[in-house]
Amino acid sequence: MQKPKISLLVPSRERLNLKLTLISSLISSCDDISNIELVFGTDEDDPKKATIERICDNTSFARTITINNNGKFIGINRIWNTLFEQTESDIVGYIGDDMAFMTPGWDTEIINEFTGENLPDDKLKLVHCYDGYRQRDEICVNAFTTRKYYDTVGYFTRPEFLINWSDQWMYQSYKAFNRVKYRRDIHIQHNHWVLGFRQPDNVAARMHASLDTTDLNKAGNIEKHSNEQWTTLRQEHKDEIEKLSKYLNMPPNWSVVDP
C-alpha cells in the first residue's frame, strides 16, 4: 500500500526570504522530502512571480499555482481553497509562508497520524503542532487534515474571512467532535510579525489596508471586516457543524463553539 503524501498549502506574495526559510526548514527536517509537496499560491501580479517560479522549478518538492486576483487582494482563504482544489494528496497542511519546520522527522510523524488505527474510519481528524508561542491546545495556526472535511462541508476555508479566523473556525468544527490532536512535540515556528519575530512588511500592510468597496460593498478596514464576519457567519458555522454531525452520526459538543 502506497503511503500518503502531504500537501502543504501556502498562500504567499513576494516574501522571498520567508519562502527560502520555509524551503530550507523542510529540507533539513523531513525524513523523506518525497513525503511532501509544497504548493505556493502566487498572485498573477506578484512582482516576484518570475523569481518564485524559478525557485520552484529548481526545487524538486515545490510548485506554484497562479492566482487570478485581478490586481486586488482577494483574501488568503480564497487562495487556500484554490490550492486545495488543485492538489490530490491524502493529507493537507494549512500553513503560512512565515512558518519554519523545526522538528526532525515531523513528516513521518504526521503521516503516521493519518494512517492505520490512528485515523478514524470516517477520516475526519485534525492535527496541529506547537507554534513556538502557544503552549497548549487552543487554536490551530498550523493544521493537518484529510480531504474528507472539504468533501463534507464543501470548502477548505471560509472565503468570507479575508484574513484571520479561518483557523479558529476549522479548529472549533473539529473540536466539537473531539477530533483534534495537539502534537506539542512537533515544533512549527510561526514567525509572525504580530508576535514580534520580525518586522511588518509591505504584504502585511496590504492585508490590513482599506477595503475595495467596489468588490465588497462595505467601507472600512480588511481586518475589521474579517473580524465582523466571525459574528455575521455564526449561523453558517452552526450549519457546518450540524452537517458534520450528520456525517459522523454524532452529536456535537456545543460548549467548545462560540455561541
**pTM score above 0.75:** yes
Rounded CA-CA distance 188/128 in Å is: 9
Rounded CA-CA distance 6/82 in Å is: 17
Q: Tens-digit pLDDT profile for the chain (259 aa)? A: 567 899 999 999 999 999 999 999 999 999 999 999 999 999 999 999 999 999 999 999 999 999 999 998 999 999 999 999 999 999 999 999 999 999 999 999 999 999 999 999 999 999 999 999 999 999 999 999 999 999 999 999 999 998 889 999 999 999 999 999 999 999 999 988 777 777 777 887 777 775 554 444 444 588 888 889 999 999 999 999 999 999 999 999 999 999 8
Rounded CA-CA distance 143/157 in Å is: 12
Instruction: Match domain 6-196+226-249 to its CATH number in 3.40.50.150, 3.30.300.30, 3.30.2400.10, 3.90.550.10.
Output: 3.90.550.10
What is the 8-class DSSP label of residue 3?
P
Residues in the chain: 259
User: Do the strands 91-94 and 6-11 form a parallel or antiparallel pair, or are they unpaired?
Assistant: parallel
For 101, the grid coordinates are: 519546520
Burial letters for 5-28: b for 16+ Cβ neighbours within 10 Å, e otherwise? Answer: bbbbbbbbbbbeebbebbbebbee
Q: Would you kindly state where each structural domain of the chain is located, as residue ranges? A: 6-196+226-249
